[in-house]
């Protein structure tokens, strides 16, 4: 009998959703600007994406939401870099959001025989 293995991710979607919701509510403009600049310098964001996030969104909440969505669309590595930069740029906010430096949430394997 051959086994069929699939990757299943830990159920963190609700937690990530809560963190993003709080990030959008609480991230000040200065943090959003510095975080966008750090992510662009690190290659996570293109300069055009950074410019769009900061200039095309007229409210702080929209900027925060656009930044989070843009980074999330780029995958787990980008998200991890965003958290790392957020810890450096705004440690108090990072702490309020309950973010840790070890954000690796590895998939575990489920095998069906």
Span 60-108, pLDDT tens digits: 999 999 999 999 999 889 989 999 999 999 999 999 998 865 544 434 3
Across 50-86, b (16+ Cβ under 10 Å) vs e yields beebbeebeebeebbbbbbebbeeeeeebbbbbbbbb
Cα 26 versus chain centre, distance: 15
Q: What CATH number has the domain spanning 4-112?
A: 1.10.533.10
Please state, rounded to an integer, the average pLDDT across all residues of the chain: 82
Higher pLDDT, 34 or 19: 34
Identify the CA nearest to 54 among candidates 41, 42, 67, 44: 67
With cut-offs at 50, 70 and 90, classify the pLDDT of residue 18: confident
Cα 24 versus chain centre, distance: 11
Cα 98 versus chain centre, distance: 13
Q: Can you tell me the distance from the alpha carbon of 80 to that of 52, in angstroms, rounded to the nearest whole number?
A: 22
The CA radius of gyration of the chain, in Å to the nearest whole number, is 16
DSSP-assigned letters across all residues of 64-93: HHHHHHHHHHT-HHHHHHHHHHHHHH-HHH
């Amino acid at each position: 009998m051959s086994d069929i293995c699939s990757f299943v991710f830990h159920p963190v979607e609700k937690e990530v959703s809560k963190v993003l919701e709080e990030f959008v509510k609480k991230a000040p403009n200065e943090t959003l600007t510095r975080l966008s600049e750090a992510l662009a310098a690190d290659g996570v964001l293109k300069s055009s994406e950074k410019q769009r996030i900061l200039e095309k969104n007229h409210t702080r909440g929209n900027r925060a939401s656009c930044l989070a969505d843009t980074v999330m669309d780029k995958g787990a590595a980008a998200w991890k870099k965003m958290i790392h930069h957020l810890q450096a740029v705004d440690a108090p906010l990072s702490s309020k959001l309950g973010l840790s430096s070890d954000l690796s949430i590895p998939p575990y394997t489920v095998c069906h025989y």
